[in-house]
Amino acid sequence: MTTATQLLRTPFHSFHLQHKAKMVDFAGWEMPLSYGSIIEEHRHCRASAGFFDVSHMGRLRFTGRHARRFLDTVCTRQVLGMEPGQCRYGIVCNERGGCLDDIIVYCMDESDFLVVCNASNRAKLLAHFAAVKGDMVFKLDDQTESTAMCALQGPKAMDLIAGMSREIPNLKRYRFTQKNLIVVKLIVSRTGYTGEDGVEVILGAGTAQLAMGMFLKNAGQADSVVKPIGLGARDTLRMEAGMPLYGHEIDEDTDPISAGLGFAVKLDKGQDDERAGRFIGQDALQRIAAAGPARKLVGLVLEGRRSARQGMQVKHGNDVVGRVTSGCLSPTLDKPIAMAFVDAPLAELGTSLSVDLGRESANASVTKMPFVSATRS
Amino acid sequence: MSSPSTCRYTDSHEWFHAEGDTVTVGITQFAANELTDITYVGMKPAGTAVSSGASLGEVESVKTTSDIYSALSGTIIEVNAAATSDPSLLNSDPFGKGWLVKLKVSDTSALDRLMDSATYDAKHPVG
Protein backbone atom coordinates (compact mmCIF):
# COMPACT_ATOMS: atom_id res chain seq x y z
CA MET A 1 0.00 0.00 0.00
CA THR A 2 1.21 3.51 -0.69
CA THR A 3 0.44 6.41 1.54
CA ALA A 4 0.51 10.09 0.76
CA THR A 5 3.05 10.82 3.45
CA GLN A 6 5.92 8.69 4.61
CA LEU A 7 5.16 7.17 8.00
CA LEU A 8 7.76 7.44 10.74
CA ARG A 9 9.22 4.19 12.00
CA THR A 10 10.34 3.49 15.54
CA PRO A 11 13.66 1.80 16.40
CA PHE A 12 11.60 -1.34 17.19
CA HIS A 13 10.14 -1.53 13.69
CA SER A 14 11.96 -4.68 12.63
CA PHE A 15 10.96 -6.35 15.90
CA HIS A 16 7.30 -5.71 15.08
CA LEU A 17 7.68 -7.19 11.62
CA GLN A 18 9.53 -10.25 13.00
CA HIS A 19 6.63 -10.80 15.36
CA LYS A 20 4.11 -10.50 12.53
CA ALA A 21 2.44 -7.37 13.81
CA LYS A 22 -0.44 -5.83 11.98
CA MET A 23 0.98 -2.35 11.39
CA VAL A 24 -1.19 0.75 11.25
CA ASP A 25 -0.79 4.49 10.83
CA PHE A 26 -1.05 6.09 14.25
CA ALA A 27 -0.50 9.85 14.31
CA GLY A 28 1.96 9.58 11.41
CA TRP A 29 3.83 6.61 12.87
CA GLU A 30 3.81 3.05 11.60
CA MET A 31 2.82 1.21 14.78
CA PRO A 32 1.77 -2.31 15.76
CA LEU A 33 -1.99 -2.62 16.31
CA SER A 34 -1.69 -6.25 17.38
CA TYR A 35 0.57 -9.26 16.96
CA GLY A 36 -2.39 -11.63 16.56
CA SER A 37 -5.17 -11.17 19.06
CA ILE A 38 -5.87 -7.94 20.93
CA ILE A 39 -7.82 -9.80 23.60
CA GLU A 40 -5.04 -12.34 24.21
CA GLU A 41 -2.46 -9.56 24.43
CA HIS A 42 -4.66 -7.71 26.89
CA ARG A 43 -5.08 -10.77 29.08
CA HIS A 44 -1.37 -11.57 28.93
CA CYS A 45 -0.53 -8.12 30.25
CA ARG A 46 -3.00 -8.51 33.13
CA ALA A 47 -1.72 -12.02 33.96
CA SER A 48 2.00 -11.79 33.25
CA ALA A 49 3.84 -8.95 31.51
CA GLY A 50 3.67 -7.03 28.28
CA PHE A 51 6.21 -5.10 26.22
CA PHE A 52 4.91 -1.97 24.50
CA ASP A 53 6.71 0.14 21.93
CA VAL A 54 5.66 3.69 22.78
CA SER A 55 8.41 5.43 20.83
CA HIS A 56 5.79 7.43 18.96
CA MET A 57 5.16 9.49 22.10
CA GLY A 58 6.85 12.87 21.93
CA ARG A 59 9.96 13.46 24.05
CA LEU A 60 10.83 17.12 24.48
CA ARG A 61 13.84 18.20 26.52
CA PHE A 62 13.81 21.61 28.20
CA THR A 63 17.10 22.94 29.53
CA GLY A 64 18.27 26.33 30.71
CA ARG A 65 17.67 29.15 33.08
CA HIS A 66 13.92 29.53 32.50
CA ALA A 67 13.04 25.91 31.66
CA ARG A 68 11.24 25.39 34.98
CA ARG A 69 9.48 28.74 34.86
CA PHE A 70 8.32 28.07 31.32
CA LEU A 71 6.91 24.64 32.21
CA ASP A 72 5.07 26.18 35.14
CA THR A 73 3.53 28.63 32.66
CA VAL A 74 2.25 25.95 30.29
CA CYS A 75 1.48 23.06 32.66
CA THR A 76 -1.45 22.82 35.09
CA ARG A 77 0.67 20.89 37.59
CA GLN A 78 3.31 22.63 39.67
CA VAL A 79 6.82 22.04 38.38
CA LEU A 80 8.48 24.26 40.99
CA GLY A 81 9.58 22.07 43.87
CA MET A 82 9.87 18.88 41.85
CA GLU A 83 12.89 16.86 42.88
CA PRO A 84 15.37 15.27 40.48
CA GLY A 85 14.06 11.77 39.79
CA GLN A 86 10.42 12.77 40.08
CA CYS A 87 7.79 12.77 37.33
CA ARG A 88 4.41 14.45 37.34
CA TYR A 89 1.35 14.04 35.17
CA GLY A 90 -0.13 17.34 34.06
CA ILE A 91 -2.15 19.08 31.37
CA VAL A 92 -1.21 21.79 28.89
CA CYS A 93 -4.26 24.03 28.55
CA ASN A 94 -5.42 26.81 26.30
CA GLU A 95 -6.74 30.08 27.76
CA ARG A 96 -10.25 28.58 27.98
CA GLY A 97 -8.97 25.72 30.12
CA GLY A 98 -9.35 23.24 27.25
CA CYS A 99 -6.70 20.53 26.98
CA LEU A 100 -4.01 20.93 24.34
CA ASP A 101 -2.43 17.73 25.61
CA ASP A 102 -1.75 15.66 28.69
CA ILE A 103 1.92 15.21 29.51
CA ILE A 104 4.37 13.76 31.97
CA VAL A 105 7.14 16.08 33.18
CA TYR A 106 10.39 14.44 34.29
CA CYS A 107 12.65 16.54 36.51
CA MET A 108 16.31 15.78 35.79
CA ASP A 109 17.46 18.77 37.81
CA GLU A 110 16.26 22.30 38.48
CA SER A 111 17.09 23.48 34.97
CA ASP A 112 16.65 20.25 32.99
CA PHE A 113 13.27 18.65 32.29
CA LEU A 114 11.88 16.08 29.92
CA VAL A 115 8.27 16.27 28.75
CA VAL A 116 6.57 13.21 27.30
CA CYS A 117 3.53 14.12 25.21
CA ASN A 118 1.12 12.44 22.83
CA ALA A 119 2.35 11.68 19.31
CA SER A 120 -0.71 13.33 17.82
CA ASN A 121 -0.04 16.58 19.69
CA ARG A 122 3.72 16.95 19.35
CA ALA A 123 3.66 19.44 16.46
CA LYS A 124 0.80 21.38 18.04
CA LEU A 125 2.63 21.63 21.37
CA LEU A 126 5.86 22.75 19.72
CA ALA A 127 3.95 25.53 17.98
CA HIS A 128 2.16 26.46 21.21
CA PHE A 129 5.42 26.54 23.15
CA ALA A 130 7.07 28.72 20.51
CA ALA A 131 4.10 31.10 20.61
CA VAL A 132 4.13 31.56 24.39
CA LYS A 133 7.88 31.47 24.99
CA GLY A 134 8.24 35.24 25.05
CA ASP A 135 11.59 36.34 26.46
CA MET A 136 12.16 33.24 28.57
CA VAL A 137 15.60 31.71 28.09
CA PHE A 138 15.77 27.94 27.59
CA LYS A 139 16.53 25.39 24.93
CA LEU A 140 13.84 23.03 23.65
CA ASP A 141 15.27 19.91 22.05
CA ASP A 142 12.79 17.56 20.37
CA GLN A 143 14.40 14.17 21.10
CA THR A 144 11.49 12.09 19.85
CA GLU A 145 13.27 10.70 16.82
CA SER A 146 16.70 10.36 18.41
CA THR A 147 15.36 8.24 21.27
CA ALA A 148 13.12 5.22 21.72
CA MET A 149 10.58 4.53 24.44
CA CYS A 150 9.06 1.29 25.60
CA ALA A 151 6.97 0.08 28.50
CA LEU A 152 7.07 -3.12 30.48
CA GLN A 153 3.79 -3.61 32.33
CA GLY A 154 2.06 -6.36 34.24
CA PRO A 155 2.17 -8.24 37.53
CA LYS A 156 5.42 -9.97 36.58
CA ALA A 157 7.15 -6.91 35.15
CA MET A 158 8.95 -5.86 38.32
CA ASP A 159 10.17 -9.40 39.04
CA LEU A 160 11.81 -9.42 35.63
CA ILE A 161 13.42 -6.07 36.25
CA ALA A 162 14.62 -7.22 39.67
CA GLY A 163 16.85 -9.62 37.78
CA MET A 164 18.56 -6.67 36.11
CA SER A 165 18.53 -3.98 38.77
CA ARG A 166 18.12 -3.80 42.51
CA GLU A 167 17.34 -0.12 42.42
CA ILE A 168 14.47 -0.02 39.93
CA PRO A 169 12.03 -2.28 41.85
CA ASN A 170 12.45 0.07 44.81
CA LEU A 171 11.37 3.13 42.83
CA LYS A 172 8.14 4.64 44.05
CA ARG A 173 5.33 5.38 41.61
CA TYR A 174 6.13 8.40 39.45
CA ARG A 175 9.81 8.26 40.26
CA PHE A 176 12.56 7.52 37.79
CA THR A 177 16.22 6.74 37.70
CA GLN A 178 18.92 7.08 35.06
CA LYS A 179 20.97 3.96 34.45
CA ASN A 180 24.17 3.56 32.54
CA LEU A 181 24.59 -0.04 31.43
CA ILE A 182 27.93 -0.12 29.63
CA VAL A 183 26.93 1.59 26.39
CA VAL A 184 23.21 1.92 27.03
CA LYS A 185 21.83 4.96 28.82
CA LEU A 186 18.34 4.47 30.18
CA ILE A 187 15.73 6.60 31.88
CA VAL A 188 13.50 4.18 33.76
CA SER A 189 10.32 5.46 35.40
CA ARG A 190 7.73 3.64 37.45
CA THR A 191 4.87 4.84 35.29
CA GLY A 192 2.50 3.33 32.77
CA TYR A 193 -0.80 3.38 30.97
CA THR A 194 -2.31 0.01 31.78
CA GLY A 195 -3.22 0.22 35.47
CA GLU A 196 -0.61 -2.47 36.12
CA ASP A 197 2.69 -2.07 37.89
CA GLY A 198 5.69 -1.64 35.64
CA VAL A 199 8.08 0.80 34.07
CA GLU A 200 8.54 3.00 31.05
CA VAL A 201 12.02 3.20 29.58
CA ILE A 202 13.57 5.90 27.40
CA LEU A 203 16.80 5.13 25.61
CA GLY A 204 18.84 6.16 22.62
CA ALA A 205 17.37 5.14 19.27
CA GLY A 206 20.64 3.47 18.31
CA THR A 207 20.72 1.29 21.42
CA ALA A 208 17.09 0.25 21.40
CA GLN A 209 17.70 -3.08 19.69
CA LEU A 210 20.45 -3.90 22.18
CA ALA A 211 18.25 -3.13 25.15
CA MET A 212 15.51 -5.27 23.65
CA GLY A 213 17.65 -8.32 24.08
CA MET A 214 17.59 -7.75 27.83
CA PHE A 215 13.83 -7.38 28.13
CA LEU A 216 12.62 -9.65 25.42
CA LYS A 217 14.88 -12.63 25.03
CA ASN A 218 12.00 -15.05 24.51
CA ALA A 219 9.17 -12.65 23.81
CA GLY A 220 7.88 -14.42 20.76
CA GLN A 221 7.63 -17.83 22.36
CA ALA A 222 4.36 -19.34 23.49
CA ASP A 223 5.41 -19.74 27.14
CA SER A 224 7.30 -16.48 27.54
CA VAL A 225 6.58 -14.26 30.53
CA VAL A 226 6.80 -11.11 28.40
CA LYS A 227 4.91 -10.78 25.15
CA PRO A 228 4.69 -7.81 22.83
CA ILE A 229 1.45 -5.86 23.12
CA GLY A 230 0.07 -3.63 20.38
CA LEU A 231 -1.86 -0.38 20.43
CA GLY A 232 -5.18 -2.24 20.34
CA ALA A 233 -4.66 -3.80 23.75
CA ARG A 234 -2.95 -0.65 25.02
CA ASP A 235 -6.29 1.08 24.40
CA THR A 236 -8.46 -1.56 26.11
CA LEU A 237 -6.03 -1.76 29.05
CA ARG A 238 -6.14 1.99 29.62
CA MET A 239 -9.94 1.96 29.34
CA GLU A 240 -10.20 -0.69 32.07
CA ALA A 241 -7.83 1.45 34.14
CA GLY A 242 -10.11 4.48 33.60
CA MET A 243 -7.29 6.50 32.08
CA PRO A 244 -8.06 9.26 29.59
CA LEU A 245 -6.90 9.20 25.99
CA TYR A 246 -6.39 12.48 24.18
CA GLY A 247 -8.99 12.88 21.43
CA HIS A 248 -11.46 10.79 23.40
CA GLU A 249 -11.86 11.92 27.01
CA ILE A 250 -9.96 15.18 26.61
CA ASP A 251 -9.51 17.68 23.81
CA GLU A 252 -9.30 21.43 23.29
CA ASP A 253 -12.96 21.90 24.17
CA THR A 254 -12.78 19.78 27.32
CA ASP A 255 -11.32 20.99 30.59
CA PRO A 256 -9.45 18.71 32.98
CA ILE A 257 -11.76 19.44 35.93
CA SER A 258 -14.80 18.03 34.11
CA ALA A 259 -12.68 15.11 32.92
CA GLY A 260 -11.92 14.08 36.50
CA LEU A 261 -8.30 15.24 36.26
CA GLY A 262 -8.55 17.85 39.00
CA PHE A 263 -5.70 16.09 40.82
CA ALA A 264 -3.41 17.26 38.00
CA VAL A 265 -4.46 20.91 38.23
CA LYS A 266 -2.77 23.20 40.75
CA LEU A 267 -5.66 25.66 40.90
CA ASP A 268 -3.83 27.99 43.31
CA LYS A 269 -0.51 27.92 41.49
CA GLY A 270 1.55 30.97 42.35
CA GLN A 271 -0.40 31.72 45.51
CA ASP A 272 1.91 30.07 48.06
CA ASP A 273 5.08 30.67 46.12
CA GLU A 274 4.98 33.34 43.47
CA ARG A 275 8.03 31.86 41.74
CA ALA A 276 5.67 29.24 40.32
CA GLY A 277 3.75 31.96 38.53
CA ARG A 278 0.38 31.25 36.96
CA PHE A 279 -0.37 28.81 34.17
CA ILE A 280 -2.22 29.40 30.93
CA GLY A 281 -5.87 28.50 31.50
CA GLN A 282 -5.70 28.96 35.26
CA ASP A 283 -8.32 31.75 35.34
CA ALA A 284 -10.75 29.66 33.31
CA LEU A 285 -10.19 26.53 35.40
CA GLN A 286 -10.66 28.47 38.64
CA ARG A 287 -14.04 29.68 37.34
CA ILE A 288 -15.05 26.16 36.28
CA ALA A 289 -13.98 24.71 39.62
CA ALA A 290 -15.84 27.43 41.54
CA ALA A 291 -19.08 27.03 39.57
CA GLY A 292 -18.78 23.23 39.41
CA PRO A 293 -18.51 21.55 36.01
CA ALA A 294 -21.74 21.28 34.00
CA ARG A 295 -20.82 17.78 32.84
CA LYS A 296 -18.58 15.11 34.23
CA LEU A 297 -16.70 12.13 32.93
CA VAL A 298 -18.12 8.87 34.26
CA GLY A 299 -17.52 5.17 33.87
CA LEU A 300 -20.38 3.07 32.50
CA VAL A 301 -20.97 -0.65 32.55
CA LEU A 302 -23.49 -1.70 29.90
CA GLU A 303 -25.89 -4.59 29.86
CA GLY A 304 -25.55 -7.06 27.01
CA ARG A 305 -22.51 -7.72 24.83
CA ARG A 306 -22.42 -4.69 22.57
CA SER A 307 -19.74 -2.03 22.81
CA ALA A 308 -20.47 1.66 23.13
CA ARG A 309 -18.35 3.80 20.78
CA GLN A 310 -17.11 7.36 20.83
CA GLY A 311 -19.87 9.82 19.94
CA MET A 312 -22.85 7.62 20.87
CA GLN A 313 -25.57 9.37 22.83
CA VAL A 314 -26.14 8.67 26.50
CA LYS A 315 -29.77 8.96 27.59
CA HIS A 316 -31.68 9.29 30.82
CA GLY A 317 -35.19 8.20 29.96
CA ASN A 318 -35.76 9.89 26.62
CA ASP A 319 -33.44 12.82 27.29
CA VAL A 320 -30.01 12.99 25.75
CA VAL A 321 -27.74 13.68 28.73
CA GLY A 322 -24.30 12.92 27.42
CA ARG A 323 -21.95 11.35 24.95
CA VAL A 324 -19.66 8.33 24.96
CA THR A 325 -15.94 9.06 24.68
CA SER A 326 -14.53 5.49 24.63
CA GLY A 327 -15.86 1.98 24.96
CA CYS A 328 -15.06 -1.67 24.46
CA LEU A 329 -15.97 -5.13 25.62
CA SER A 330 -13.70 -5.37 28.65
CA PRO A 331 -11.49 -8.43 28.17
CA THR A 332 -11.02 -8.75 31.94
CA LEU A 333 -14.63 -8.25 33.04
CA ASP A 334 -16.12 -9.78 29.87
CA LYS A 335 -18.76 -7.07 29.73
CA PRO A 336 -18.98 -3.76 27.91
CA ILE A 337 -17.42 -0.76 29.62
CA ALA A 338 -17.38 2.83 28.49
CA MET A 339 -16.44 6.33 29.50
CA ALA A 340 -18.85 9.18 28.84
CA PHE A 341 -19.48 12.80 29.64
CA VAL A 342 -22.88 13.24 31.27
CA ASP A 343 -24.75 16.13 32.86
CA ALA A 344 -23.22 16.58 36.29
CA PRO A 345 -26.36 15.72 38.31
CA LEU A 346 -26.40 12.29 36.62
CA ALA A 347 -22.79 11.46 37.41
CA GLU A 348 -23.60 9.81 40.75
CA LEU A 349 -22.46 6.20 41.07
CA GLY A 350 -25.27 3.77 40.37
CA THR A 351 -27.31 6.14 38.18
CA SER A 352 -29.23 4.20 35.53
CA LEU A 353 -28.70 5.52 32.04
CA SER A 354 -28.80 4.06 28.54
CA VAL A 355 -26.54 4.21 25.51
CA ASP A 356 -28.01 4.61 22.03
CA LEU A 357 -26.21 1.95 19.97
CA GLY A 358 -27.98 2.82 16.73
CA ARG A 359 -30.71 0.28 16.08
CA GLU A 360 -31.05 -0.56 19.74
CA SER A 361 -30.01 0.79 23.09
CA ALA A 362 -28.35 -0.76 26.12
CA ASN A 363 -28.99 -0.01 29.77
CA ALA A 364 -25.93 1.30 31.53
CA SER A 365 -25.01 2.03 35.11
CA VAL A 366 -22.61 4.73 36.30
CA THR A 367 -19.69 2.79 37.76
CA LYS A 368 -16.59 3.68 39.71
CA MET A 369 -13.31 3.85 37.81
CA PRO A 370 -10.89 2.18 37.44
CA PHE A 371 -13.06 -0.65 36.20
CA VAL A 372 -10.16 -3.02 36.84
CA SER A 373 -7.46 -2.61 39.47
CA ALA A 374 -3.89 -3.79 39.12
CA THR A 375 -3.30 -7.50 39.32
CA ARG A 376 -1.31 -8.28 42.46
CA SER A 377 1.75 -10.39 41.80
CA MET B 1 -3.91 -17.93 2.15
CA SER B 2 -6.50 -17.89 -0.61
CA SER B 3 -10.25 -17.52 -0.30
CA PRO B 4 -12.43 -20.47 -1.40
CA SER B 5 -13.06 -20.54 -5.14
CA THR B 6 -16.60 -21.79 -4.54
CA CYS B 7 -17.66 -18.41 -3.12
CA ARG B 8 -18.30 -14.98 -4.63
CA TYR B 9 -17.09 -11.79 -2.97
CA THR B 10 -18.06 -8.16 -2.44
CA ASP B 11 -15.94 -5.07 -1.97
CA SER B 12 -17.41 -4.84 1.52
CA HIS B 13 -15.76 -8.20 2.27
CA GLU B 14 -18.75 -10.54 2.48
CA TRP B 15 -18.63 -13.97 0.86
CA PHE B 16 -21.65 -15.72 -0.67
CA HIS B 17 -21.87 -19.44 -1.28
CA ALA B 18 -24.85 -20.76 -3.25
CA GLU B 19 -26.29 -24.27 -3.05
CA GLY B 20 -29.48 -24.33 -5.08
CA ASP B 21 -31.65 -21.51 -3.76
CA THR B 22 -29.85 -21.35 -0.40
CA VAL B 23 -27.01 -18.89 -0.08
CA THR B 24 -24.68 -18.88 2.93
CA VAL B 25 -23.12 -15.54 3.87
CA GLY B 26 -20.03 -14.73 5.91
CA ILE B 27 -17.10 -12.35 6.07
CA THR B 28 -13.70 -12.99 4.56
CA GLN B 29 -10.45 -13.71 6.36
CA PHE B 30 -9.21 -10.32 5.18
CA ALA B 31 -12.20 -8.65 6.84
CA ALA B 32 -11.77 -10.65 10.05
CA ASN B 33 -8.11 -9.64 10.20
CA GLU B 34 -8.94 -6.00 9.57
CA LEU B 35 -11.67 -5.94 12.20
CA THR B 36 -9.39 -7.61 14.77
CA ASP B 37 -10.91 -9.74 17.58
CA ILE B 38 -14.63 -10.01 16.95
CA THR B 39 -16.64 -9.63 20.13
CA TYR B 40 -20.28 -9.51 19.01
CA VAL B 41 -22.39 -10.91 16.18
CA GLY B 42 -25.90 -9.51 15.86
CA MET B 43 -27.72 -10.77 12.77
CA LYS B 44 -31.35 -10.04 11.98
CA PRO B 45 -33.54 -13.01 12.94
CA ALA B 46 -34.65 -15.85 10.70
CA GLY B 47 -37.70 -14.82 8.72
CA THR B 48 -36.42 -11.32 7.98
CA ALA B 49 -36.77 -10.31 4.36
CA VAL B 50 -33.76 -8.44 3.01
CA SER B 51 -33.24 -6.66 -0.26
CA SER B 52 -30.03 -6.42 -2.17
CA GLY B 53 -27.74 -3.86 -0.55
CA ALA B 54 -29.53 -4.00 2.81
CA SER B 55 -27.91 -4.81 6.12
CA LEU B 56 -28.09 -8.36 7.43
CA GLY B 57 -26.91 -7.25 10.84
CA GLU B 58 -23.82 -6.03 12.60
CA VAL B 59 -20.50 -7.42 13.69
CA GLU B 60 -18.45 -5.75 16.40
CA SER B 61 -14.77 -6.09 17.14
CA VAL B 62 -12.57 -4.63 19.82
CA LYS B 63 -11.94 -1.71 17.49
CA THR B 64 -15.10 -1.08 15.53
CA THR B 65 -18.69 -1.90 14.57
CA SER B 66 -19.44 -2.98 11.04
CA ASP B 67 -22.61 -3.65 9.04
CA ILE B 68 -22.85 -6.83 7.00
CA TYR B 69 -24.56 -6.30 3.65
CA SER B 70 -26.51 -8.66 1.48
CA ALA B 71 -25.72 -8.68 -2.23
CA LEU B 72 -28.97 -10.54 -2.88
CA SER B 73 -32.66 -10.14 -2.16
CA GLY B 74 -34.14 -12.95 -0.12
CA THR B 75 -35.17 -14.12 3.31
CA ILE B 76 -32.95 -15.08 6.22
CA ILE B 77 -33.75 -18.71 6.98
CA GLU B 78 -31.05 -19.43 9.54
CA VAL B 79 -28.64 -17.51 11.77
CA ASN B 80 -25.47 -19.22 12.93
CA ALA B 81 -26.13 -19.58 16.66
CA ALA B 82 -22.59 -20.87 17.24
CA ALA B 83 -21.10 -17.64 15.89
CA THR B 84 -23.55 -15.54 17.91
CA SER B 85 -22.49 -17.25 21.12
CA ASP B 86 -18.79 -17.44 20.18
CA PRO B 87 -17.95 -14.49 17.90
CA SER B 88 -14.27 -15.50 17.84
CA LEU B 89 -15.28 -18.17 15.27
CA LEU B 90 -15.30 -15.34 12.75
CA ASN B 91 -11.60 -14.81 13.38
CA SER B 92 -10.58 -18.46 13.57
CA ASP B 93 -12.73 -19.92 10.77
CA PRO B 94 -14.51 -17.20 8.79
CA PHE B 95 -15.23 -19.41 5.77
CA GLY B 96 -16.35 -22.38 7.87
CA LYS B 97 -17.71 -22.40 11.42
CA GLY B 98 -17.86 -18.60 11.40
CA TRP B 99 -20.58 -18.28 8.74
CA LEU B 100 -23.28 -15.73 9.59
CA VAL B 101 -26.63 -16.42 7.92
CA LYS B 102 -28.30 -18.56 5.29
CA LEU B 103 -30.59 -16.83 2.82
CA LYS B 104 -33.39 -18.27 0.71
CA VAL B 105 -33.27 -16.52 -2.63
CA SER B 106 -35.33 -16.84 -5.78
CA ASP B 107 -32.68 -15.45 -8.09
CA THR B 108 -28.95 -16.02 -7.59
CA SER B 109 -27.92 -14.31 -10.80
CA ALA B 110 -26.73 -11.24 -8.86
CA LEU B 111 -23.86 -13.40 -7.63
CA ASP B 112 -22.44 -13.47 -11.16
CA ARG B 113 -21.73 -9.76 -10.86
CA LEU B 114 -19.63 -10.26 -7.70
CA MET B 115 -15.91 -11.02 -7.67
CA ASP B 116 -14.50 -14.49 -7.91
CA SER B 117 -11.88 -15.54 -5.36
CA ALA B 118 -8.89 -14.77 -7.57
CA THR B 119 -10.09 -11.22 -8.22
CA TYR B 120 -10.93 -10.67 -4.55
CA ASP B 121 -7.62 -12.05 -3.27
CA ALA B 122 -5.65 -9.99 -5.77
CA LYS B 123 -7.41 -6.89 -4.46
CA HIS B 124 -7.26 -7.80 -0.79
CA PRO B 125 -4.32 -10.08 -0.10
CA VAL B 126 -4.05 -11.53 3.41
CA GLY B 127 -0.59 -10.73 4.76
Residues of chain B with Cβ-Cβ distance to A37 below 8 Å are: 36-37, 91
Q: Is the pLDDT of residue A219 over 70?
A: no
**What gap in Å lies between CA A35 and CA A18, rounded to an integer?**
10
State the pLDDT at residue A216. Answer: 73
pLDDT category, A212, cuts 50, 70, 90? confident
Q: Is the pLDDT of residue A317 over 70?
A: yes
CATH 2.40.30.110 corresponds to the domain A294-367: yes
Residues of chain B with Cβ-Cβ distance to A306 below 8 Å are: 40, 42, 60
Q: How far is B20 from chain A (nearest CA, A)?
A: 32
Helix (H, G, I), strand (E, B) or coil at B93: coil
Q: How far is B61 from chain A (nearest CA, A)?
A: 9
State the pLDDT at residue A4. Answer: 60
| B40/A33 touch (CB, cutoff 8 Å), yes or no | no
Please name the fold of domain A59-143+255-289.
Alpha-Beta Plaits (3.30.70)
**What gap in Å lies between CA A176 and CA A190, rounded to an integer?**
6
**What gap in Å lies between CA A169 and CA A158, rounded to an integer?**
6
- CB hemisphere CA count around A116 (13 angstroms): 22
Mean pLDDT of A194-201: 96
Whether residue A305 lies within 8 A of chain B, CB to CB, comes out as: yes
pLDDT category, A296, cuts 50, 70, 90? very high
State the pLDDT at residue B70. Answer: 97
State the pLDDT at residue A1. Answer: 47
pLDDT category, A130, cuts 50, 70, 90? very high
Which of B39, B42, B91 lies at the smallest CB-CB distance from A329?
B39
- Least-confidence region, from A209-218, A247-256, A291-300: A209-218
Q: How far is CA A80 from CA A24, A32, A86, in A?
A: 39, 37, 12
pLDDT category, A220, cuts 50, 70, 90? low
- CB hemisphere CA count around A281 (13 angstroms): 29
Yes or no: say if A356 and A316 are a contact pair by the CB < 8 Å rule. Answer: no
* Chain A residue with Cα closest to B59: A306
Mean pLDDT value across chain A = 94
Residues of chain B falling short of pLDDT 70: 127
* Chain A residue with Cα closest to B123: A1
Give the pLDDT confidence of A342-373 residue by residue, as tens digits.
999 999 999 999 999 998 999 999 999 999 98
| B40/A34 touch (CB, cutoff 8 Å), yes or no | no
State the pLDDT at residue A223. Answer: 78
Cβ-Cβ contacts under 8 Å for A129 (sequence gap 6 or more): A60, A70, A74, A140
Q: Is the pLDDT of residue A3 over 70?
A: no
Question: What string of DSSP letters covers A156-214?
Answer: THHHHHHTT-SSGGGPPTTBEEEEEETTEEEEEES--SSSSSEEEEEEEGGGHHHHHHH
How many residues does this entry show for chain A?
A: 377
Residue A209 one-letter amino acid: Q
- Least-confidence region, from A15-29, A175-189, A300-314: A175-189
Percentage with pLDDT > 90 across chain A: 88
Yes or no: say if A135 and A51 are a contact pair by the CB < 8 Å rule. Answer: no
| A305/B39 touch (CB, cutoff 8 Å), yes or no | yes
Mean pLDDT of A295-299: 98
Structural domain boundaries in chain A? 4-57+145-240, 59-143+255-289, 294-367
- The CATH architecture assigned to A4-57+145-240 reads 2-Layer Sandwich (3.30)
State the pLDDT at residue A374. Answer: 79
Mean pLDDT of A296-323: 97
Which of B37, B58, B65 lies at the smallest CB-CB distance from A39?
B37
Residues of chain B with Cβ-Cβ distance to A305 below 8 Å are: 39-40
